[in-house]
Amino acid sequence: MAVRIRLARYGAKKHPVYRIVAADAQSRRDGRFIEQLGAYDPNVNPPKVSLERDRYDYWLANGALPSETVARLTKGA
C-alpha cells in the first residue's frame, strides 16, 4: 500500500479548510484516510498551518510521499 500525505478539503462552499492527512494513494481526495496530521486554513491572513510534526516525520520515515502542496506548506512549519 502506497501512502501519500495530502490535503483533504472540508469547510463551506467558497471557504475551504483543509486537513493534512496520511491516506492510501488510491483513495479519493475526501475519502478514507489513515491518520489526520494537521490542518491548513487559507482564509486568514497569513494562512494558518498546524501540523503534528512528530507524526508527519513518522510517516515520512515509513515511506509516505507528501504531495507538492503539502511539501511546500510544511517546509516552514
Whole-structure pTM value? 0.90
Q: Strand, helix or coil at 61? A: helix
User: Which single residue is written with the C-alpha cell 487559507?
Assistant: 42
The answer to whether residue 75 scores a pLDDT higher than 90 is: no
Q: Mean pLDDT across the stretch 58-69?
A: 95
Residue 55 burial class via C-beta count within 10 angstroms: exposed 0-12, middle 13-18, buried 19 and up: middle
Residue with cell 483543509: 18
Cβ–Cβ < 8 Å for 22, 64:
yes
- Give the per-residue pLDDT at 1: 76
**pLDDT tens track for 1-56:** 799 999 999 999 999 999 999 999 999 988 899 999 999 999 999 999 999 999 99
Under DSSP, is residue 53 helix (H, G, I), strand (E, B) or coil? helix
Cell of 58: 513518522
Domains and CATH numbers, the chain: 3-74 (3.30.1320.10)
pLDDT for 77: 59
pLDDT at 18: 95
